[in-house]
Structure 1
């Protein structure tokens, strides 16, 4: 469950972290009133449970209440990244000396909390990790012991932060960890965590995701504060998928994926990433979901970023020919204008391959890796050692 920025910041403030002065407005007139009360330059931020808002035009600056009014009017009621904007956060614009990154998250590798920190804040942490992995500091935490100030200080000791900045940031990391524990979050992220020109350490943003399985353990007052203030924690396509009874998650890539079983689907997404591409979705159509192959495929194709389709079936108890027939029917009905690539193995594979060959004129790949590479290439991604590039 992703909290909105202002909700996350309320948790940080409660724990003693400094956040900018500001308030939430549901109407443009409220935004102007808040901007007038704050004075000076303000930031107007659309409150949606999604990242990369700056790149989407969801963060604006204003030098007057009138400009804040116009910015809010431009944002409220508009969809951004698939989410309707129902409110904006108006905050004081701070004089920033440097931007940092800080987070506490669940770590599958260490099977516990992981503290992340980087002096390269304000950027996508994935990009920083890819370009300069040494700049992303990691500290696995024994949840039975917790994170001490000394632990945090040791993590920061090799950075170029001043002694005073290290002390203030170490304190912020400990408080972030405390928030993570108290609300049973799976992510508490501040990007950027800034050092202002007057030396303060301020959480300029807040991304908090709660473990859905732990919500029943949260205090009633805490949950009541979220009610009526939380937009759907999924995009329009994800909402449509839920209404269809499909497990659909929208991603930021261009390779559409249909596979059976959550495990195989995850492996397929990993393979797409491994070969240099980016998947456009998670969507598994195993079990009885294959009976919804046509609406499932239509859902994938509604994403304008999809430039190729990868179908990966592997059956043991499930018959691949039955699942394939559903997808073939969907392709014949919808006639996608993008190239389609198949990999089929397991029970009924001979019949399934014949279906694809005879009705679609396509030849499924013998190896899943070859199908993935072809789909990645067709989507326009560059990769090394491409094999079998075109659709067969």
Structure 2
């Protein structure tokens, strides 16, 4: 879940990090009033998307009339697939330095990672691509905390505060780009990007209320309502697997052998008894041309999952190719169900089942 810029900045402000004076507006009339109060200002589209400046979603104005004209151009724009219905009007600052600071969950180090560049701003992506040496990467040991940061005192204090907020908010990403130094020497967060781990939202009820959830397809909403983690993709191989790790491994294997997954779906954990709902969900995607079932049971019994699938088997088209691999707790019973009820022989090796499913989907 993402927070809009003004919501993220409110958290920074509450944590003691300076932000510009700003007013969130939903109409050009509100923009005019904000510009009248703030004077020379910046009008910024409030959407959970990057590169707003390059898309024309950030404009400067020195007078009320200019602010109204700028807002008129920004309202209704589509940026990153999001239509702008809100802008943030902020005071202009006299900037002498721009810095990039971010903390994110890093899959390589399996923990938080600090990113820092003395050259922040709108072109940070291009800068890092051309000159990667300008970006400091500092892994953070969550057992010891941030520790000493080899930067000047003021910036280091802000980074320590960011880390505490990152942990407290169950964040996946907390970014300030840019953190600016003004002509009078103050450090101010000019922008803020904050993404919260969806799995932690029950611990963050206040953030849940103000956050922007990614738009879901009708099938994804249906999966969520059923208590299933389902993501709709643009491939042709429908996948049923128990556990996120096995599901992703199966998707990787499908891609490796030249196929395209039609979905991510796990029915492990508390959802392992929902085989019927899971099968119905996968088949509801009209792009599915073959079905790949990959079960590896431990706590989740494969025979229980298979019994659930069979309850909804009438939804499987007669001409739909289906392929199984079944191992682990209850596998003898599950394999017997597949053989006796469906007349299908499960594969011993996952790779063989994947290759067959990919070929059948072509």
Q: Distance in 2 between matches of 1:308 and 1:99?
A: 51
Cα distance between partner residues in 2 of 1:308 and 1:132: 43
Partner of 2:44 in structure 1? 44
After superposition, the Cα gap between the structure-2 partners of 1:354 and 1:69, relative to the gap in structure 1 and judged at 3 Å, is: farther
For 2:239 and 2:252, the matched residues in 1 are separated by: 14
| Separation in structure 2 between the aligned mates of residue 32 and residue 102 of structure 1, nearest angstrom | 32
| Pairwise CA distance, 1:13 | 1.9
Aligned to 2:88: 89
Shift of 1:9: 1.0
Structure 1: distance between partners of 2:53 and 2:336: 47
* Residue 284 of structure 1, aligned match among 243, 260, 266: 266
Give the Cα separation in 2 of the matches to 1:186 and 1:68: 33
Match of 1:102 in 2: 101
Determine which of 302, 305, 316 is the counterpart of 1:318.
302
- 1:144-168 CA-to-partner distances (Å, cap 9, x unmatched) read 5x434xx211xx5xxxxxxxxx554
- Is 2:75 the partner of 1:73? yes
Q: Is the 8 A contact 2:231 2:264 kept in 1?
A: yes
How far apart in 2 are the matches of 1:331 and 1:65? 58
Are the structure 2 counterparts of residues 231 and 137 from structure 1 closer, same or farther at C-alpha, using a change threshold of 3 Å? closer
Tell me the equivalent position of 2:6.
Answer: 6
The 1:354/1:214 distance shift into structure 2, 3 A limit, reads same
1:173 matched to 2:159? The reply is: yes
**What SS is found at the alignment partner of 2:29?**
helix
TM-score norm. by structure 2 comes to: 0.66
Q: Deviations over 1:200-259 (max 9, x none)?
A: 65432221426435447xxxxxx4xx58x52563423344432243323568x7687632
Question: Which residue, out of 233, 248, 267, partners 2:213?
Answer: 233
Structure 2: segments with no counterpart, 5+ residues? none
Task: Please say which structure displays the higher CA radius of gyration.
Answer: 2
SS at match of 2:227: coil
CA distance in 1, matches of 2:156, 2:171: 20
| Cα contact 2:43–2:67 (8 A) shared by 1 | no
More divergent stretch after superposition (108-117 vs 312-321):
108-117
Quote the offset at 1:7 in angstroms: 1.8
| 1:56-88 deviation line (CA, Å, top 9, x unaligned) | 96934354222333245315xx8975x786643
1:331-370 paired onto structure 2 within 5 Å:
332=317, 342=323, 344-346=325-327, 347=331, 348-349=334-335, 352=338, 367-369=349-351
| CA 391–188 in structure 1, closer or farther in 2 if over 3 Å, else same | closer
Distance 2:23 2:7 in 1: 11
Mark the CA change 1:349 to 1:101 in structure 2 (over 3 Å): closer, same or farther.
farther
Structure 2 distance, partners of 1:25, 1:52, is 20
Asked whether the equivalents of residues 32 and 66 of structure 1 are also in contact (C-alpha less than 8 Å), the reply is yes
Conserved in 2, the CA contact under 8 Å of 1:56 and 1:80? no
The TM-score with structure 1 as length reference comes to 0.62
Task: Describe the shift of the 1:321–1:249 C-alpha distance in structure 2 as closer, same or farther (beyond 3 A).
Answer: closer
In the alignment, structure 1 segments of 5+ residues that lack a partner are 157-165, 217-222, 376-387
Q: In the superposition, relative to structure 1, how do residues 85 and 325 fare at CA in structure 2: closer, same or farther (>3 Å)?
A: farther
Contact 1:28 1:72 in 2 (8 A): no
How many Å separate the matches in 1 of 2:97 and 2:352? 45
State yes or no: 1:207 paired with 2:187.
no
Tell me the residue number matched to 2:59. Answer: 61
Please tell me the root mean square deviation across aligned C-alpha atoms, in Å.
Answer: 5.1
Contact kept, 8 Å, 2:57 with 2:74, in 1: the verdict is: no
Task: Name 1:246's counterpart in structure 2.
Answer: 228
Aligned residues: 337
Would the aligned equivalents of 1:112 and 1:143 in 2 still touch at CA under 8 Å? no
Report how far residue 12 of structure 1 moved: 1.2
Paired residues of 1:32 and 1:68 also in contact (CA < 8 A): no
How much does 1:176 deviate?
A: 0.8
Q: Structure 2: how far apart are the matches of 1:188 and 1:209?
A: 7
